Chains A and B, each alone.
Chain A
């Protein structure tokens, strides 16, 4: 229905070839009418007409009244009309902005940031300061088209080369300095005597059984202290012992308590060094996957030993 109405209007326009005449506004009520009526009037029409006629001060249109009128109409409407609401919001926003500018946004800035306006005030004697203020108030930036680009001279090109080479030299120096003086962090690999550690845990288990007459111990009962290191060392040692079948480890639920089942027969046996070394064999395999720094050091050691062998061979030859 609405589309049809619109079409008819445009057809008439085509025939008559005339511009759309905006209705003249006589009072504030008409502004509201224009906004709330369902014709093809946009906020532009309202503002242009207001400016042209000068009968109504566009700065004094009550936005609150506008909003109230809008709410009244919305309450009367049975169906949602997005077109109307859009028009009202658009008009209200525009009017609010105009009013804000009118109410002295610039003057407010002059009060809060007087130093920024001081220079303008000083220069005010030389030119039409008020006019300039009005101009800047409109928020327009002069955009005069001009030939902004110019040819680059050969001297500028030579200067650019100088800059480019200087940057390159600086980079080279920086890289060289970095290679020479930089203190790289040394990666230390802590070594531990696993045989002793496993032996110690085994002794703890033995004393636990003799003391409490129990073959099952909680993990928390056998750790020397609550420190992280002690927990890790004890647990790793237990894993090695479990791997050798000396103890059994179980955990009934994830993140639950860890129980150590102690085999009394195994406890009565003396823990042999060979057994422990067998137990820690997987550790040797892990060693091969350690960072390159370790491998390098091994290589260096091998090379050094090779050199030593050569040296010793030389000395023996000399002696001969």
Chain B
């Protein structure tokens, strides 16, 4: 048993961290007011540039931004609320 635990120690650590994440996710209602009150412009500036330059709103139409928003959400793993606010800002 000890040997197995030792062999898979990193996997178990990952599993433990995953469980913490899952518990944290269930308690997502505890997002702070500061975080939930962020505007689309603020979220656009903070999240897009984590990987690339901040995109110009004039690049695409609203329909295109909706599609790109879904694509980018699956890469940057932003929340649904963040995606919707960023898309709304880019669609203006």
A and B are interacting partners: no
A contact set with B: CB distance below 8 Å: none
Interface residues of B (CB under 8 A from A): none
